[in-house]
Amino acid sequence: MTIEKKLLGTNPVDGAVTVEDVFSTYLYTGNGDAHTINNGIDLSGKGGLVWFKDRAFANGIDHILVDSERGKDSYLSSNTTAAAATSTDVCEFNSTGFDLTNFTYNNGNTRSFVSWTFRNAPKFFKAVTFTYSGSSSSPTVVTHDLGCTVGMAISKRTSGSAGWFVQHRSITGSNNNGNLNENGNMNNGNGYSTSFSSITDTTATFGATASFPAGTYVAYFFADNSAEDADEQMIKCGSYTATGDNDINLGWEPQFILSKRANSNGDWEIHDTMRGLDWYGYRYLSPNTNDDESLSTGAYLFPTATGFTNKWFSSNDEIIYMAIRAPMMVEPSAATEVYAANTYAGNNANGRSFTGLGLTPDVNIITGLGGMPSCIGARLIGPGMFETDSTSVSYATLAGWMQYDMDGFTFPTKYTYSNSTGNNYVAHNFKRAKGFFDVVAYTGTGSQMTLNHSLGAVPQMIWVKNRSTLENWEVYTATTGINKRFKLNTSQGTANSTGRWGATPTTTQFSVNEPYGLNRSGHNFIAYLWSTLDGVSKVGTYTGNGGSEDTNGTSQTIDCGFAAGARFILIKQYDVGDGGWFVWDTTRGIVAGNDPYLTLNTTAAEVTSNDSIDPSNSGFIVNQVAATDINVTSSTYIYLAIA
């Protein structure tokens, strides 16, 4: 394990080394009974807030907010002015998340819910309760101890009816409160009277400039990390003037955005990448209403490697936001955190789900074993999939193809290539993670362009597909460099193509230059970036020795530095024109005997009749057999292996 896997330099928050320790978006289906949600966040020890919403109930269900300061039996609704209500065991906090019982509003049987968890932590978030006398001559000093700039504060009277006061660092003026339960204008001093004044890194004074109702209150303080080191930032609160096409630079990719049009009426909106914040469309819920989740299709609001793009709001709209960083801050400590495979028999059913992968997939490659294309998609681009053997984009916009879930995936609608009766399938599932794997979507310009990524390491293999028209898959490898090309959809070896990749990739950027397969003006693209991570993955090369365990006992061991061998292997011969893109995995079998393999560049059925691969604790063993030719004397190969 590298030092970075253990410690992110100086800890950005108390005891936490990653945003995954302090924030979670978790989707689940209610069961109306005992239900434990394990999101990995210590709520019983550190405390915090869990915010629930039923995503799609015909009669409308209120937002439910439960925090550790008021206790598990007390809840508030952001879309109402009502006082805190009580119900036994609304949410029991534990060391790895929370427990639910039969409370209808956050665990109704068979209903779909989202939960957003904010853990108390310096430089991130703090929930505080306090009492106010009702007189501005006797204000209350509230201690929050964030230890940095307060980006946004939300306060609510709990002992009686009152609105949800919101202060944001971008809103100034003498009356700078907005209202979370309303959609009204809050900019330029047109909001409600200022609730918190004299806000410092540790305290905030409530009720000094205007009188508010007396009683007990709760306040939620959200940090702004703009002044922190870039590698340690987790949350930012800011604003921008809409132009109809805004690129907001946060310095990192977000997973959660709360936004509001501040200078005119407009609902508050919550967006997150788990429910769908991508190039296909975005799903949002409004804290000021109990409306069901809404979906807007089209590339109007989507995350980038350095922030987010908003093409939705009209010109001159003043937009405020609170954004939380995506979970790519530290390297995974084990490959099981980022890769899992599952096999299944097709049944022609709509709405079929697969769970229990042990990870939240961002990408999967699905292949029919009886002879079908391998199809790959990405959470970042929504439900579409692309055939790895083809130039086609025919499945790029199929809304029912794929839905990425918390620990698996769902086929909303059946398709032959993913769930046809009488066919067996394998799904290779990958999670984006620092040092291992990343995905970047972009629009081409027709001339050399530099793109940001979040890999935090130099990409050693990149796959690119034009999502708008028929074009070959383009492949870069560090072994062959920026003046060579492969095509994932063909068996062709490497070919000269001067400057095709623009410039050598770095830990933060890569370049594309060629105008059609990589960078055609106005066309949309997706790039998959792979790198070597000690003990987790290996992108490498080897030269064949012609040996085989079955013929001369000189098969070749490829040392990847793994402790228990490779679970996924991709190999391509690159010095000749007929080397396929072969895939093996331990789910289907990497054993001492024959091993089944698939070929990404064809629709050929799984082959089970030869022994090209053998297991090795440090990586894998290659044998020369004519079917695959993965160990031809003096031939050169590239590979991707995952432990």
Across the range 327-336, mean pLDDT stands at 95
Q: Would the pLDDT of 189 be above 80?
A: no
Does 487 map to a domain? yes
Same-domain check for residues 419 and 457: no
Does 405 map to a domain? yes
> How does pLDDT run across 578-625, given as a tens digit for each residue?
899 999 999 999 999 999 999 999 999 999 999 999 999 999 999 999
Distances (CA, A) of 404 to 9, 115, 409, 437, 526: 32, 16, 5, 17, 17
Same-domain check for residues 418 and 502: no
Same-domain check for residues 398 and 420: yes
> Collapsing DSSP states into helix, strand and coil, what is residue 10?
coil
The one-letter amino acid at 305: A
Same-domain check for residues 422 and 492: no
Residue 14: per-residue pLDDT: 53
> Which one of 515, 530, 545 terminates a domain?
530
Neighbours of 473 (CB within 10 A): 25
Distances (CA, A) of 582 to 125, 282, 383, 569: 48, 36, 26, 8
Same-domain check for residues 353 and 415: yes
Residue 421: per-residue pLDDT: 94
Same-domain check for residues 524 and 543: no
Selection from 540, 548, 558 nearest residue 617 by Cα = 558
> Which one of 370, 399, 430 terminates a domain?
430
> How does pLDDT run across 136-150, given as a tens digit for each residue?
999 999 999 999 999
β-partners of residue 585 are: 568
> Collapsing DSSP states into helix, strand and coil, what is residue 569?
strand
Q: Would the pLDDT of 2 be above 70?
A: no
Does 194 map to a domain? no
pLDDT band at 5 (very low <50, low <70, confident <90, very high): very low
For the chain, give the percent of residues with pLDDT over 90: 85
> Which one of 408, 430, 452 terminates a domain?
430
> How does pLDDT run across 232-245, given as a tens digit for each residue?
999 999 999 999 89
Residue 58: per-residue pLDDT: 66
Q: 318 — phi, psi (to 5°)?
A: -95, 115
pLDDT band at 498 (very low <50, low <70, confident <90, very high): confident
Same-domain check for residues 637 and 541: yes
Same-domain check for residues 588 and 491: no
Q: How far apart are CA 460 and CA 530, in angstroms?
A: 6
Same-domain check for residues 468 and 425: no
> How does pLDDT run across 526-571, given as a tens digit for each residue?
999 999 999 999 999 999 999 997 666 789 999 999 999 999 999 9
Q: Would the pLDDT of 16 be above 70?
A: no
Does 133 map to a domain? no
Q: Would the pLDDT of 339 be above 70?
A: yes
Same-domain check for residues 509 and 598: no
Across the range 453-478, mean pLDDT stands at 97
Least confident of 38-47, 306-315, 629-638: 306-315
For the chain, what is the mean pLDDT?
Answer: 93
Does 325 map to a domain? no
Does 449 map to a domain? yes
With contact defined as beta carbons under 8 Å apart, do 348 and 425 qualify? no
C-alpha dihedral (169, 170, 174, 179), degrees to nearest 10: -80
Domain of 383 in residue numbering reads as 335-430
Same-domain check for residues 449 and 425: no
Does 507 map to a domain? yes
Find the largest Cα–Cα distance for the chain: 93
Please, which residues have CB within 8 angstroms of residue 170's CB and are 6 or more apart in sequence? 237, 238, 239, 262, 320
> For the chain, how big is the Rg over CA atoms in Å?
26
Please, which residues have CB within 8 angstroms of residue 552's CB and are 6 or more apart in sequence? none
Please, which residues have CB within 8 angstroms of residue 626's CB and are 6 or more apart in sequence? none
pLDDT band at 22 (very low <50, low <70, confident <90, very high): very high
With contact defined as beta carbons under 8 Å apart, do 619 and 602 qualify? no
With contact defined as beta carbons under 8 Å apart, do 561 and 534 qualify? yes
Selection from 571, 511, 564 nearest residue 540 by Cα = 571
Q: Would the pLDDT of 4 be above 60?
A: no
Does 567 map to a domain? yes
Same-domain check for residues 418 and 512: no
> Total domain count for the chain?
3
